[in-house]
Copies of this chain bind each other. A is one copy, B any other.
Amino acid sequence: MTTDGPDRDEEAAAPLQRRPQLALLVEGDDRKGLLHDMTAAILDHGGDILSVEIVESGARSAIYWELDAVKDPESLERAFQAIDVVRSVRRLPSMFQVYGKRIIVVGAGAQVGQVALGAIGEADRHNIRGEKISVDTIPMVGEESLANAVRAVSRLPRAVALVLAGSLMGGEVTEAVEEVRARGILVVCLNMAGSVPEHADLVVTDPVQAGVMTVMAVASTARFDIERVRGRRV
């Protein structure tokens, strides 16, 4: 992952980090098969589904779609509107436009808050210049919970980096780190006991700095190239 210019952003972005062509919120009543009917309409219009969010289900339905390659967006909106239970179809800003890239901070104790504080402060500085970076933190302990949280990062929309903020992590957590790195997630960790530091992209001793450097690494507005420090301990 290189981030030394705004133009690198689109180029390096995985499908879910691209801006979708079309973001639609479709609301109405709910019934079995509603989503199936909507995927039929999308297929008819040649669309690629980037993301679906079931905002509401049961009595009422609200389904949020992010789509690409739709041949005639107005025609798709009419096709959605023609479904019996659909009441309204609205275009919205995409989740990437609203919340941007996500940095996931996982760990516990005094350190996890300090990593988040560093990342939030640095994200604030970049976001004020037009960047969009969120800092999502889950405080937790335990090898299995941590390994599950690390693995699930690759299933989180818009996640680009993970910071492991703890004092001792290894075993199954290390295996999970290798898995998410293979999915293109940048992994930063504190300088800690256990085998995780040997498998991270970057090891940072100070927790505030770990948060700051992770934001710098993923920001299009920063001139910091992770390739130049990969595998380092600072």
Contacts and interface: CB of A to CB of B under 8 A. Distances in A.
Interface of A: 14-16, 25, 32-33, 35-36, 39-40, 42-43, 46, 48-58, 64, 92-93, 95, 97-100, 102, 108-109, 112-113, 116-117, 120-121, 123-124, 127-128, 132-141, 145, 148-149, 152, 154-155, 157, 183
Contacts of A128: 108, 141
A71 B136 CA distance: 35
Contact of A52 (B15, B54, B136): B54
A165 to B, nearest CB: 10
Contact of A108 (B43, B116, B124): B124
Given A117-B117, A135-B137, A139-B123, A32 B46 contact: yes
Contacts of A145: 98
Given A55-B154, A55-B155, A112 B120 contact: yes
A208 to B, nearest CB: 10
A16 B52 contact: no
Contacts of A127: 108, 138-141
A24 to B, nearest CB: 11
Nearest to A37: B39
5 contacts: A15-B57, A36-B36, A55-B154, A132-B140, A135-B138
B141 A99 contact: no
Given A36-B36, A57-B15, A137 B157 contact: no
Nearest to A112: B120
Most buried by B among A51, A132, A136: A136
